[in-house]
Structure 1
């Protein structure tokens, strides 16, 4: 009887009249009563809800008073909802709407990528118009794949879209082997210097350690001759470390007008849903504000399901002009930092050997001149 109780059952009491005759008549009529217990002047029992009207007719015949004590089962919980017309109308509207929204992106799956790759991929796809809440076309998918390949980070990329799910698959680009990075016209010196060390990968080394070379001089050639005079050609690849001097000049103001953050900030939110952007009311931006944008996708708080929309939050940080005063030591430190940044931008593998610098102050300006003696790869 448990399935009956789970769907629809009735707990009732029977008093007065001929209750014994009622039990006998119910058994003859095929009414299955269970959980029957004696009560003063009658009994308490259970039966399926569909059999209760027939039991009530028999009780009336034998002048037994029936009273429903409790209704049990899923049917009695669902029945009030089935009587609500708005529920059925909402369901009739929801199903076509659900099918129609499958042409929009609900969720972008980038689980096959690393965290950094996923963040950069999402930014690239947003520029191509592929983000949660936007409609998908074949042209957008092709443009998104081309943008991922054009970024140089991936050697292969594929975008698959079905029923609101955009699946991103990509393979990271592998660096070219050193032998393939060689040139067929030889390698020449980027600047003059004294050769310290050489490392030949392919081709013919034309210089030796301790040799003085000039800018534009050949360092690694592409041909060498065998004993019989036969020339063998190979791409020129390798490194030539040389010691040379690098000069730089910087000028730093002792008093400079700059913008400082005030601590004020305003937020503006833009909702992208079904291919349309809706900006929510926001306060006016502070003067000389710096903008920072953040993109995220809302989820249902209980189920954790992604919604077919995305949110762009823009933070505007206020600034105000102020005069920054520097001491000569601070200005020299800033100029030194700028020179080091320029050095490593030009020669990323530079190893500093010595430094010679000079500072002069004229008309509120610090003029900084530095000469670094460095060892770096001069192959160009």
Structure 2
């Protein structure tokens, strides 16, 4: 009897992708709903896991009717055995209970993704833990959530001169204790490059994106498949025209995957303390307010394993009252509190933060 996996399809797709990778099978049964099929969740899982559609049998059930779910499984012509592996992490409660009831009668092995996201727990016929060894790539994580990406970063950015310049400017921000507007050196560079578009973009903030990207990649030992600079996200089946006309304001400065979590980093340099503490938009200038909302909007469709951070060399905590307001806004938006000068004040404190947080 060939091995088979059974997956319950729901909005959270990553557990099923990981299950397919950890428990290889010759065929797959997707227990799904009309809504999940309309949202193309099954297609996203197949694409992310690299399995061919002809190896998948889909059973569409009424998720709100326990008896109907059981009847759909009985009518599907399945021949479960001990060689079947069932992941009941997805679906709703009725789907999970019905799948457990049906497949336990046929002695199939039944699993659930443990709360720590590091183990699949076998529930039947015995209880044991199976560590998750597979680590998804950036492309696989995004495919599981219906997205593809392209790095829009200028290749020239990562030459040794730009990399060294980003480190030099970060040292300058540390010298002024994160009060970036007090740096005469940075002001001069911005002023002298006003008529040089590429350099102006670099000195007004791109340098910091490059610094964050390079530092994260180095200290977390990430391959190119796990991290991207200036990533544009598109729907998974979007054509070239859609990609050409996408909203560039929603590009992600730095994003990466580690331990099957997806991290979004919005890198911002505020040239004055007023901008650094302002939760409102003033005179057409984007403030922290708009950057936090952008992070929340990007994070929302990318699953429970997506984490979003605003990171800045500015000393936000220099004004405790405004920083408390910023933290409360982050809590409301369900994103992490900003990472500022207090974390970046030395290379060592930043490295310690990265190794502990990610």
TM-score of the aligned structures, taking structure 2 as reference length: 0.22
Larger radius of gyration: 1
Structure having the higher helix fraction is: 2
TM-score of the aligned structures, taking structure 1 as reference length: 0.21
